[in-house]
Amino acid sequence: MYRVGKPEIDAIASVIRSGNLFRYQKTESACARFERRYAAYLDARHVLLTSSGTTALTAALVALDIGPGDEVMVPACTYMATACAVLAAGAIPVIVDVDESITMDPAALDDAVGPRTRAVIPVHMWGLPCNMNAIMRVARRRKLLVIEDACQAVGGGYHGRKLGTIGDAGAFSFNYYKNMTCGEGGAVVTRRARAAARAACMIDCCGFYWKGRQQSVHPFTSNGSRASELEGAMLNVQLDRIDAIVRGLRRHKHRVLNATAKTGLQPIPLHSPADECGAQVVYLLPTRAQADAFARQVAGTVVGKTGRHIYTEWDPIFRREGAHHPALNPYRLPQNRGCRMTYRKNMCPRSLDILHRAVMIAMHPDRKAADVDDLIAKIRAAASLAGVR
Ligand SMILES: Cc1ncc(COP(=O)(O)O)c(C=O)c1O
């Protein structure tokens, strides 16, 4: 979805020419500049750049003291990295149904909370905001921490606030498939100073050698996931592009939805259509067979068939292989004995039904008006072929 070109090449070339590829090599690094600018863009207090969305999620969980003995709720529809981050923090992921918005169902969350549940990760899949008002209400009542997985929702918002800034912490990915990219990268956001210090330690436990030993949080050891100046430089350029990209995606999406409103096709409910990323138009077909036929006609994708975005595809989780060594495997830790850790492929039948009837059609910001018209014509024709008219 991203745009990339000469300004990124120039920014990276200038870092290479300067010889300063390490963020602590000079006083105003490109990484620090991006963190400051992205924090201002999000209206957030602390932003920390890291190597990926997965390390951002892990740092966010550790930042909030999630660890062994804790259950963390994750939705049935997300990339496995969301659940992997929970295990990397030593906690246990518990899978919760999605609703027709293909994001976490707040009522299912409420039902699933148990005595060990400490946190929830709502995931804004394909730039579609979760029902954050309802999720935050459940979280407050049940005393859960909220970590937003905004990895697929860079630039998106929810009723005037940026996604990732509504819960206690948020995580973004800047990998090759995201609205803003530096090849691989991620960021943690939080308004809590102590959490930010812990996240910084998680990202770079050796950072105190460079930033000074007088840190507010005693350092603990972790794996390194520090970003380089090349990534920081590229992201500074990407940040200048993001609003125009998301505006373009949203404009195309609204046009497609308006033009197909009378076809009988049922779009999924949207929780903040004016603020979302607009990356995908998603329709819910009456049956799986109709979804398959419709997806073929419009070159779309059945959400349940991407091969990697629903819980049934999370192979190591089903095998309860939560670490590289049995002694470190959260599924075997005594502290986690009271956590729920039985996974079955058919444990979320409602999610499976919805996800196999949901068809998404990708938007692209550089699509010309005539191409959007062609797409609309194709969707209309496919609606009658799939028998929804
Ligand atoms: C919803 C979600 N969470 C987490 C991640 C992990 O991000 P990364 O690949 O940057 O580690 C992704 C990546 O695609 C994702 O889509």
| Residue 126 Ramachandran class (φ > 0 left, ψ -120 to 50 alpha, else beta) | left
Q: Which two tokens stand for residue 296?
A: 């073929």
Residue 184 Cα: closest atom of ligand 1: 10
- Tell me the pLDDT tens digit for each residue of 189-224: 999 999 999 999 999 999 999 988 877 788 899 999
320 and 48 Cβ atoms separated by less than 8 Å: no
List residues near ligand 1 (CB under 6 A): 52-54, 78-79, 81-82, 123, 149, 151-152, 173, 175, 186
Distance from C-alpha of 268 to C-alpha of 189, rounded to nearest angstrom: 29
Q: Pairing between strand 71-75 and 92-96?
A: parallel
β-partners of residue 98 are: 104
C-beta separation of 139 from 166 below 8 A: no
Question: Which of 151, 172, 176 for a ligand 1 pocket mutation test, highest count of atoms within 8 Å of Cβ?
Answer: 151
Ligand 1 atom at minimal distance to the Cα of residue 52: 10
Number of the ligand 1 atom closest to the C-alpha atom of 124 = 1
- pTM for the full predicted model: 0.97
- What does the pLDDT read at residue 219? 87
Q: Looking at ligand 1, which residue's alpha carbon is closest to its atom 8?
A: 53
Of ligand 1's listed atoms, the one at least distance from the Cα of 54 is 11
Residues near 95 by Cβ (< 8 Å), separated by ≥ 6? 73, 74, 75, 76, 83, 311, 343, 347, 348
pLDDT of residue 218: 84
For atom 7 of ligand 1, which residue has the closest CA?
A: 53
Q: Ligand 1 centroid vs 152 CA: distance in angstroms?
A: 7
The answer to whether the beta carbons of residues 142 and 107 sit under 8 Å apart is no
Give the per-residue pLDDT at 264. 96
pLDDT of the residue at 25: 86
Gap from CA of 260 to ligand 1 centroid (Å): 31
| pLDDT mean by block of 10 residues, the chain; 389 residues | 90 95 88 98 98 98 98 98 98 98 98 98 98 98 98 98 98 95 97 96 94 84 95 98 96 98 97 97 98 97 97 98 98 98 98 98 94 97 83
Written as six digits, the tokens of 106 are: 């707040």
Ordered structural domains, the chain, with CATH: 6-239 (3.40.640.10)
Ligand 1 center from residue 196 Cα (angstroms) = 20
Token pair of 215, please? 């840190």
pLDDT value at position 145?
98
In this predicted model, what pLDDT tens digit does every residue of 63-118 receive, in sequence order? 999 999 999 999 999 999 999 999 999 999 999 999 999 999 999 999 999 999 99
Closest atom of ligand 1 to CA, residue 175 = 10
Instruction: From residue 55, give the alpha-carbon distance in Å to each of 78, 207, 382.
Output: 16, 16, 41
Q: What is the pLDDT of residue 389?
A: 66
Nearest alpha-carbon partner for 233 in 22, 2, 1: 22
Ligand 1 centroid to residue 20 C-alpha, Å: 28
Other Cβ atoms closer than 10 A to 333: 19
